[in-house]
Amino acid sequence: MILVTGGAGFIGSNFVLDWLAQPDDATPNPEPLINLDALTYAGNLENLAGLKGDARHIFVHGSIGDVDLVTRLLAEHQPRAVINFAAESHVDRSIHGPEDFIQTNIVGTFHLLEAVRSYWQDLDSERKDHFRFLHVSTDEVYGSLAKDDPAFAETNRYEPNSPYSASKAASDHLVRAYHHTYGLPVLTTNCSNNYGPYHFPEKLIPLVIHNALAGKPLPIYGDGQQIRDWLYVKDHCSAIRRVLEAGRVGETYNVGGWNEKPNLDVVHTLCAILDELQPRADGRPYKDQITYVTDRLGHDRRYAINASKIERELGWKPVETFETGIRKTIQWYLEHRGWVQNVTSGAYRQWMDKNYGVNA
């Protein structure tokens, strides 16, 4: 049994679905899991609809900050690992309302660590040795790179530039401190920008797909030359499984897709594939819908991940290229219009108008 927090969100739900899918080399006999999620705006049980009736998936509605609840779940289910996906994760939202990020990413992680530490300390010596706490984090804790700087390595200094990345940096430091001070057997992963199925349509790729099909503007911050490394979410899930299986206790592993691309190039790629798979009724290209909007505050110019360590030590590398992963992603959204319609509520539309200043 494992405990997954934040398992109804984008990355978390993909991980849960992959974990409980048909057995593979990484998980020949998938263990059951407890899925704890607070179901905030981006947590969506519809992501997990395919697991309805599956006794291996136990969903619990609750927060990592609820120490009594987490303590009870640990005592009742006796998991051999905790994987922490639970986080507020959108930079733009952190700019408009940083308090939620402080409460979830810092205070929530602290409460989770306290509950897990208490549970772990009471295990017998063998189970204690095999227990793991895997903390899922982001490359944004490292700050911003100049165009010619080397990619982020695990040894890079933390230089977070947004309330979101600062809150994640703080949570990373807490996890490290609980290992150094108490001996808690932790692992940390810092990933680059994920994309793929079940991505809430406020982030760049799902937003562009959604707006393009709806005939709405495709908002591009500033000049659109902000560079990101793109990682297909199912590759990220396989990396987490591998780190959980064989990662060295106390170590950090960067997880990237080796796909650095400017945001504008990503949008042009999306438009070109949509032109092919779902042409506009008027025959015009989707790129005609591109609209430039005022750049966000403190926008980091470039992120890039050096994922050599995880490949060298654990033999992991991504399967998907950006070209294969982005086509799969677009196809998924075309085939799941109902899912998109259900998550794009009135509150979501108000948020998009507030953030981008266009009728998104």
Using one digit for the tens of pLDDT, what is the confidence trace for 301-356? 899 999 999 999 999 999 999 999 999 999 999 999 988 888 876 555 564 466 54
pLDDT computed for residue 341 by the predictor: 85
**Angstrom distance (rounded) from CA 200 to CA 340:** 8
Q: How many CB atoms lie within 10 A of CB 223?
A: 11
Rounded to an integer, the average pLDDT of 210-227 is: 94
CA gyration radius for the chain? Answer: 20
What integer pLDDT is reported at residue 356 of this predicted model?
44
Tell if the pTM clears 0.85, that is, is over it: yes
Query: E-strand spans in 120-180?
Result: 132-138
Would you kindly state where each structural domain of the chain is located, as residue ranges? 2-262+296-346
CB 307 within 8 A of CB 254: yes
- Which class would CATH give 2-262+296-346? alpha beta
| CA–CA distances in Å: residue 218 to residues 20, 64, 137, 232 | 36, 35, 28, 22
* Contact residues for 185 (Cβ-Cβ < 8 A; gap 6+): 120, 129, 131, 132, 133, 179, 249, 250
Given this model, what pLDDT does residue 144 score?
Answer: 93
Q: Of the segments 22-36, 81-95, 177-191, 295-309, which one has the largest average pLDDT value?
A: 177-191
Helix (H) or strand (E) holding 19: helix 10-19
Residue positions annotated with a catalytic role: 139-140, 164
DSSP string covering 219-240: EEETTS--EEEEEEHHHHHHHH
**Which pLDDT score is estimated for 148?**
92
Using alpha carbons only, what angle is made at residue 350 by residues 346 and 355, rounded to the nearest 5 degrees?
A: 145
How many CB atoms are located within 10 Å of the residue 85 CB? Answer: 26
